[in-house]
């Protein structure tokens, strides 16, 4: 297979005006790369992100309103790309439960359109696809212990270093199925058609430009709720644990994977903050209360379908392959997120954005 010369085209970022996309595009533009941002502007806040990108890097960043469900459009956008980051997705489990057909069309069919565009490319560019830890399901067989304000795995599970890629797949919820199907298509196209494709199965990502809500971006949602004193619903007992990765560290990993796609192609990697950056919902509320000075009004509801009581990424495979490791601690990252949201949450039309839920079919990551 002929290699794609990264100097001969732009970087295509689908969902590039979303939270992760905005941070990735910023890093690419700062490094001197030309970037084509593809987004359908379905989620609140992406217009502001797009304006921020083009106002800072007008000579590097071009934004196109488009949809990954448009196969012909995807083919044309991929044709000029030297590398592709496929972040566009329907991101909410709740939306997938109310409209599973839409969820499938965006996540599974949209990804297939991207892969077909790569397959028809004379020199297929590297692709990094952002999948999810939801492909491992609710992990019902992992025995947990309650300790203080969190769940911890019993030592008999052998997962003190986190969940590895050896964990059997167990798609749960339509969202888990659609992202899982896309995940497997990416890996199979790498195998069947020799495409340089890498999959990231991501845990909790957080940082600037994240306007979180209760469906996606929970750490930012907690901070925003505390800042504005908006009611916050806590689903389950609050002991659920996640590992959290600051977005700058994810961006480093994404760029590294793209640059190393020729030897990493066909592999899936679990990406998150790892065991050293874990936090429960209750612990997060306590930390945010200390940073903001108050807690938001709290309501309680039963746990939601497919919610994992404990998920921590074992990032050892990617670390061994590339040398990458998270640099930003959870304490530092939460301080930086809170400072950014404190500075930005009252500007312009953000009052409306904070009350908006994820729009159906949102193509953002």
Q: What is the CATH number of the domain that holds 114?
A: 3.40.50.720
Whether 331 is covered by a domain: the verdict is yes
Helix (H, G, I), strand (E, B), or coil: what is residue 284?
A: helix
Whether 363 is covered by a domain: the verdict is no
Whether 365 is covered by a domain: the verdict is no
Helix axes 330-344, 281-292, angle to 10 degrees: 50
The predicted structure's pLDDT at residue 158: 80
* Contact yes or no for 23/249 (Cβ under 8 A): no
The predicted structure's pLDDT at residue 300: 92
List CB contacts of 348: < 8 A, sequence separation 6 or more: 48
**How many domains in the chain?**
1
Whether 360 is covered by a domain: the verdict is no
In whole angstroms, give the CA distance from residue 37 to residue 262. Answer: 24
Whether 1 is covered by a domain: the verdict is no
State yes or no: is 175 an active-site residue: yes
Q: Among the options 175, 185, 206, 310, which is catalytic?
A: 175
Whether 289 is covered by a domain: the verdict is yes
Where b means 16+ CB within 10 Å and e means fewer, 58-85 reads eebbebeebbbbeeebbbebbeebbbbb
Task: Give the β-pairing of 150-153 and 232-235.
Answer: unpaired
Report the chain (365 residues): mean pLDDT per 10 consecutive residues. 57 97 98 97 88 96 97 97 97 91 98 98 97 93 93 87 95 94 98 98 96 84 94 93 98 98 97 97 96 93 85 97 97 97 68 34 33
Which of these, 105, 95, 83, lies nearest to 14 by C-alpha position?
83
Whether 299 is covered by a domain: the verdict is yes
- Domain of residue 68, residue span: 8-355
Backbone conformation region of residue 321, classed left if phi is above 0, alpha if psi is from -120 to 50, else beta: alpha
Whether 142 is covered by a domain: the verdict is yes
The predicted structure's pLDDT at residue 365: 36
């Amino acid at each position: 297979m002929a290699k794609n010369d990264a100097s001969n085209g732009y970087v295509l970022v689908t969902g590039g005006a979303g939270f992760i996309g905005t941070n990735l595009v910023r890093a690419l533009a700062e490094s001197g790369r030309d970037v084509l941002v593809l987004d359908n502007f379905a989620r609140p806040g992406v217009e502001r992100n797009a304006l921020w990108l083009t106002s800072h890097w007008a000579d590097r960043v071009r934004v196109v309103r488009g949809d990954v469900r448009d196969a012909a459009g995807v083919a044309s956008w991929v044709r000029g790309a030297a590398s592709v980051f496929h972040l566009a997705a329907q991101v909410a489990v709740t939306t997938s439960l109310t409209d599973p057909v839409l969820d499938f069309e965006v996540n599974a069919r949209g990804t297939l359109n991207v892969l077909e565009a790569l397959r028809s490319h004379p020199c297929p560019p590297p692709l990094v696809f952002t999948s999810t830890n939801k492909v491992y399901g609710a992990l019902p067989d992992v025995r947990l212990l309650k300790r203080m304000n969190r769940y911890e795995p019993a030592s008999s599970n052998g997962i003190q270093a986190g969940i590895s890629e050896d964990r059997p797949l167990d798609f749960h919820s339509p969202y888990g199925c659609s992202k899982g199907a896309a995940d497997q298509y990416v890996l199979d196209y790498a195998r069947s058609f020799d495409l340089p494709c890498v999959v990231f199965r991501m845990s909790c990502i957080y940082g600037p430009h994240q306007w979180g809500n209760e469906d996606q971006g929970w750490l930012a949602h907690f901070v925003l709720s505390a800042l504005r004193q908006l009611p916050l619903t806590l689903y389950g007992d609050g002991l659920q644990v996640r590992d959290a990765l600051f977005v700058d560290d994810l961006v480093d990993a994404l760029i590294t994977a793209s640059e190393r796609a020729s030897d990493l192609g066909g592999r899936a990697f679990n990406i998150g903050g790892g065991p050293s950056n874990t936090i429960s919902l209750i612990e997060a509320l306590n930390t945010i209360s200390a940073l903001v000075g108050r807690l938001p009004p709290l309501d309680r509801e039963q746990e939601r379908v497919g919610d994992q009581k404990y998920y921590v990424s074992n990032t050892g495979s990617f670390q061994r392959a590339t040398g990458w490791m998270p640099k930003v601690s959870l304490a530092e990252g939460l301080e930086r997120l809170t400072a950014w949201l404190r500075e930005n949450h009252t500007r312009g039309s953000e009052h409306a954005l904070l009350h908006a839920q994820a729009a159906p079919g949102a193509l953002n990551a």
